Chains A and B, each alone.
Chain A
Amino acid sequence: MRYEFRVTGSVSRLMAEAFPELKAEPVPRQTLFSGAVTDEAHLYGLLARFQDLGLSVEEMRRLPE
Chain B
Amino acid sequence: MPPSGFPLSGDGRGTTLAWSDDPLLAAKFTVPAAPRHHVSRPRLLGRVGAGTHGPVTLVTGPAGAGKTALAAAWTRDGEPPGPVAWLTLDPHDAAPGIFWSYVVEALGRALPRSPGGISMPARPGSVGTSLLTRLAAATEHFPGPVVLVLDGFEKVAGRRVPAGLEFLLDHCGPLLRLVVTSRADPLLPLHRYRAEDRLTEIRGADLAFTSHEASALLHGHGLKPGDDVARALTRRTGGWAAGLRLCALAVQRTGDPDGFTRSFTGTEQAVSDYLVAEVLDTRPAATGELLLRASILDRLHPDLVNALTGRKDAEAVLAGLTRENAFVDPVPGTPWCRVHPLFADVLRAQLRIRHPALVPRLHARAARWLAGEGRVTEALEHAAEAGDWQYAASEAVRHLLAVAMFTAPDGERIERAFSRMPASVPGAGPALLAAACRLARHDRAGCRERLTEAGRHLRRSGKEPTPEAGLTHALLCLLCEPRADRQTDGRADGPGPDRQADGPGPPGPAEEAARAVADLMRRMPPELIRAHPEIEALRLYGLARSFLGRGRLAEGRRLCAEAAGACTTQASLPVQHLSLGLLAVAEAAAGALTAAEDHALRSLAVADQCGAAPDRRSGAACLALAAVACERDDQEAAHRRLGQALACRDVHEDPLLAAEAAVLRSRLELALGRWETALAALPLPGAGDAPWPAQRLALTRSAAALARGDHEAAAVAVHGTRADGPAPLLALARAHFAAGRTDRSLRLLARAGNSPDLSLPDRVGVQLLRARAALQAGDRAAAQHLLGRALEAARPERLRRPFGDAGPWLRHLLDGTGGTGPAPAPGSWLTARGGADLPDPVQPLSGRERDVLLCVQRMMSADEIADDLSLSVNTVKTHLRSVYRKLGVSRRREAVERGRELRIL
CA distance in complex: A8, B62 (Å):
15
**Chain B CB within 10 Å — which of A11, A28, A53 has the most?**
A53
Residue in A7, A14, A51 whose beta carbon sits within 8 Å of that of B350 in the complex: A14
Residue among B63, B267, B269, B270 making CB contact with A52, cutoff 8 Å: B63
User: Does A12 lie within 8 Å of B277, measured CB to CB?
Assistant: yes
CA distance A31 to B271 in the complex (A): 13
> Contact: A55 with B270, CB < 8 Å?
yes
Asked if residues B352 and A17 are in contact (CB atoms below 8 Å), the reply is: yes
Residues 1-43 of chain A, each 1 if its beta carbon lies under 8 Å from chain B, else 0: 0000001111110110110100000001101000000000000
The answer, yes or no, to whether A64 is at the interface (CB within 8 Å) is no
Binds A, one of B18-26, B109-117, B341-349: B341-349
Nearest opposing residue in chain A for B352, CB measure: A17
A residues near B346, Cβ cutoff 8 Å: 14-15, 18, 53
Assess the B345–A9 pair: CB atoms within 8 A. no
Closest residue of chain A to B269, judged by CB?
A10
Interface secondary structure of A, over-half rule: loop
User: A39 CA to B62 CA in the complex, in Å?
Assistant: 24
Give chain A nearest CB distance to B205 CB in angstroms: 13
- Could you say which residues of chain A place their CB within 8 Å of the CB of B242? 54
* A55→B341 CA distance, assembly (Å): 12
Q: A62 at the A/B interface (Cβ < 8 Å)?
A: no
CB distance from A39 to the nearest CB of B (A): 15
Choice from A7, A20, A29, A52 contacting B341 with Cβ under 8 Å:
A52
**Is A15 a contact partner of B352 (Cβ separation < 8 A)?**
no
Which B residues are CB-close (under 8 A) to A49? Answer: 345
A15-B276, A51-B63, A54-B342 known; A10-B349 Cβ under 8 A: no
Distance (whole angstroms) from the CB of A1 to the closest CB of chain B? 22
Contacts of B349 in A (CB 8 A): 14-15, 17-18, 20
Complex contacts, B240 vs chain A, CB 8 Å: 54
Q: Is the CB of B272 within 8 A of A55?
A: yes
Main secondary structure of the interface of B (DSSP, over half): helix
Chain A residues lying within 8 Å of B271, measured Cβ to Cβ, are 8-9, 54
Cα distance A48–B342 when bound, in Å?
11
Let me know if B32 is at the binding interface, CB within 8 A.
Answer: no
Contact yes or no, B345 A14, CB < 8 A: no
A52–B349 CA distance with the chains assembled, in angstroms: 14
Residue of A nearest to B243 (CB): A54
**How many whole Å from A32's CB to the nearest CB in chain B?**
13
Return the chain B residue nearest A49 by Cβ. Answer: B345
Q: Check B273 for interface membership: any CB of A closer than 8 A.
A: yes
A8 to B341, CA, bound (A): 19
A51-B63, A53-B346 known; A14 vs B277 contact (CB < 8 Å): yes
Task: Report the minimal beta-carbon distance from B591 to chain A, rounded to whole angstroms.
Answer: 45
**Distance of A28 Cα from B268 Cα, bound (Å):** 8
A56 to B243, CA, bound (A): 13
Least Cβ distance of B241 to chain A in Å? 11
B348 touches A10 (CB 8 A): no
Asked if A54 and B62 sit within 8 Å, CB to CB, the answer is: yes
User: Cα distance A8–B236 when bound, in Å?
Assistant: 12
**Distance, CA A52 to CA B271, complexed state (A):** 13
Q: How far, in angstroms, from A56 to B63 measured CA to CA in the complex?
A: 11
Q: Contact at B276–A51, with CB atoms within 8 Å?
A: no
Closest to A8 in B: B270
Chain A residues within 8 Å of B267, by CB:
10
B352 touches A20 (CB 8 A): yes
Report the Cα distance A51→B154, complex, angstroms: 12
Interface-centre pick from B64, B240, B243, B273 (highest chain A CB count, 10 A)? B273
Q: Which residues of chain B have C-beta atoms less than 8 A from A11's C-beta? A: 269-270, 273
Q: Please, which residues of chain B bring their CB within 8 A of the CB of A18?
A: 345-346, 348-349
Q: Which among A17, A28, A31, A51 is the interface contact of B270 at CB below 8 angstroms?
A: A31
Q: Is the CB of A9 within 8 A of B352?
A: no
Interface string of B340-369 (1 = CB under 8 A from A): 011011101110110000000000000000
Q: Tell me the complex Cα distance, A28–B276, Å.
A: 21
Q: Which of chain B's residues 713-765 have a Cβ closer than 8 Å to chain A? A: none
Report the bound CA distance from A18 to B272 in whole Å: 13
Question: Using Cβ atoms and an 8 Å threshold, which residues of chain A touch B269?
Answer: 9-12
Q: Interface digits, B267-294 against A, CB 8 Å rule (1 contact, 0 not)? A: 1111111101100000000000000000
**A56 / chain B contacts, CB cutoff of 8 Å:** 62
Cα A19 to Cα B267 with chains together (Å): 22
- B345: chain A residues at CB < 8 Å are 18, 49, 52-53
Tell me the bound Cα distance from A53 to B344 in angstroms.
9
**Shortest distance between the CB of B460 and any CB in chain A (Å):** 41
Report if A9-B270 is in contact (Cβ < 8 Å); known contacts: A14-B349, A15-B276, A53-B346: yes
Q: Which chain B residues lie closer than 8 Å to A10 at the CB level?
A: 267-270, 273
Cα of A14 to Cα of B507 in the assembled complex, Å: 65
A52 proximity list for chain B (CB < 8 A): 63, 341-342, 344-345
> Given A51-B183, A54-B240, are A15 and B341 also a contact pair (CB < 8 Å)?
no
Distance of A10 Cα from B350 Cα, bound (Å): 18
Instruction: Give the CA-CA distance A56 to B183 in the complex, in Å.
Output: 13
**Set of chain B residues within 8 Å of A7, measured between Cβ atoms:** 270
Shortest Cβ distance from residue A28 to the other chain B in the assembled complex, whole angstroms: 8
Nearest residue (CB) in B for A52 is: B341
Minimal Cβ-Cβ distance residue in B for A31: B270
Which chain B residues border A29 with CB–CB below 8 Å?
268
What is the distance, in angstroms, from B295's C-beta to the closest C-beta of chain A? 11
A-chain residues with CB within 8 Å of residue B183 when the two chains form the complex: 48, 51
Collect the chain B residues with CB atoms within 8 Å of residue A53's CB.
272-273, 341-342, 345-346
Q: Return chain A residues, CB-CB under 8 Å to B273.
A: 9-12, 14-15, 53, 55
Which chain B positions have C-beta within 8 A of A14? 273, 276-277, 346, 349-350
Residues in chain B near residue A54, CB distance under 8 A: 62-64, 240, 242-243, 270-272, 342
Which residue of chain A has the shortest Cβ distance to B349 in the bound complex?
Answer: A17
- Chain B, 324-349, CB within 8 A of any chain A CB: 341-342, 344-346, 348-349
Show the binding face of A for B, using Cβ within 8 Å.
7-12, 14-15, 17-18, 20, 28-29, 31, 48-49, 51-56
Pick 12 A–B contacts, CB within 8 A, sort by A.
Answer: A9-B270, A9-B271, A9-B273, A12-B269, A14-B350, A15-B349, A17-B349, A17-B353, A49-B345, A53-B345, A54-B242, A54-B342
- Apart from A49-B345, A52-B63, list 5 A-B contacts with CB within 8 A: A12-B277, A14-B350, A17-B350, A53-B342, A53-B345
